[in-house]
């Protein structure tokens, strides 16, 4: 996913700038703007991931192969074309990709749908990543919306990753702050020992999954 490379580069560039909390003539950027850039970069990757899942699934159903020649083993005949694949996956003969959408943000739906069409497929890798993907959606949704539901969901995600005392977060704690903190749990031991931020750990995780789905 080229979006991962772009997001990493953008975040690395913004984090390399000196921090300036108070107005002055010194060169620097306020932390809140760093957080905003990180949040938008992360939101872009999550959106790109969902588009990647949709495009790969649709094309696999239509019989496409990867550049390495890989293709899932189909149970029945393949779709006639991309539009036909959308109609099969949505179970809607009038499906319009510009107006309708597939439930690709739901990893369980993706796995079950792939199980229906293929006897062997790469989407099985999503089964062990349910929490990873669910909390990524929670972070993305909080960046995009400030509803009570999104706020509550994000708080659950932050507590899940950080386990603060009594489950309390610092007032005003947001997605950017979480993404820039080093991972403490729920990621690989290698990521924890390397002191990766939640942003970088998520980028690594998405990259691994993408390479498994389109090998």
What is the reported pLDDT for 27? 75
Q: Which two tokens stand for residue 70?
A: 């890989």
Q: pLDDT grade, residue 167 (50/70/90)?
A: confident
Tell me 78's DSSP state. P
Tell me 118's DSSP state. E
Domain that holds residue 83: 1-215
**Does 22 score more than 90 pLDDT?**
no
Q: pLDDT grade, residue 135 (50/70/90)?
A: very high
Beta carbons of 185 and 198 less than 8 angstroms apart: no
Paired with 73 in beta bridges are 120
Beta carbons of 187 and 201 less than 8 angstroms apart: yes
What is the reported pLDDT for 26? 73
Q: List, for residues 60-86, the tens digit of each pLDDT value.
A: 999 999 999 999 999 988 999 999 999
**Does 98 score more than 90 pLDDT?**
no
DSSP 122-191: GGGGGGGGHHHHHHHHHHHHHHH---HHHHHHHHHHHHHHH--GGG---TT--HHHHHHSBP-SSS-HHH
Query: Could you give phi then psi for residue 118, rounded to 5 degrees?
Result: -125, 145
What is the tally of structural domains in the chain?
1
Beta carbons of 120 and 70 less than 8 angstroms apart: no
- The CA angle 182-191-155, to the nearest 5 degrees, is 45
């Amino acid at each position: 996913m080229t979006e991962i490379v772009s997001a990493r580069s953008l975040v690395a560039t913004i984090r390399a700038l000196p921090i300036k909390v108070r107005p002055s003539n010194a060169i620097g950027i306020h932390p809140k703007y760093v957080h905003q850039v990180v949040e938008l970069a992360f939101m872009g990757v999550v959106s790109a991931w969902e588009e990647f899942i949709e495009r790969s699934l649709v094309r696999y159903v239509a019989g496409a192969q990867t550049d390495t020649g890989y293709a899932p083993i189909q149970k029945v005949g393949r779709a006639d074309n991309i539009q036909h694949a959308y109609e099969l996956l949505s179970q809607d003969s009038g499906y319009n990709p510009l107006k309708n959408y597939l439930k690709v943000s739901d990893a369980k739906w993706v796995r079950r749908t792939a199980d229906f069409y293929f006897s062997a497929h790469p989407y099985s890798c999503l089964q062990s990543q349910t929490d990873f993907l669910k909390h990524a959606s929670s972070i993305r949704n909080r960046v995009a919306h400030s509803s009570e539901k999104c706020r509550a969901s994000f708080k659950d995600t932050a507590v899940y990753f950080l386990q603060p005392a009594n489950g309390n977060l610092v007032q005003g704690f947001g997605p950017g702050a979480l993404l820039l903190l080093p991972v403490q749990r729920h990621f690989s031991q290698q990521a924890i020992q390397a002191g990766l931020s939640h942003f970088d750990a998520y980028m690594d995780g998405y990259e691994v999954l993408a390479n498994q789905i389109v090998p």
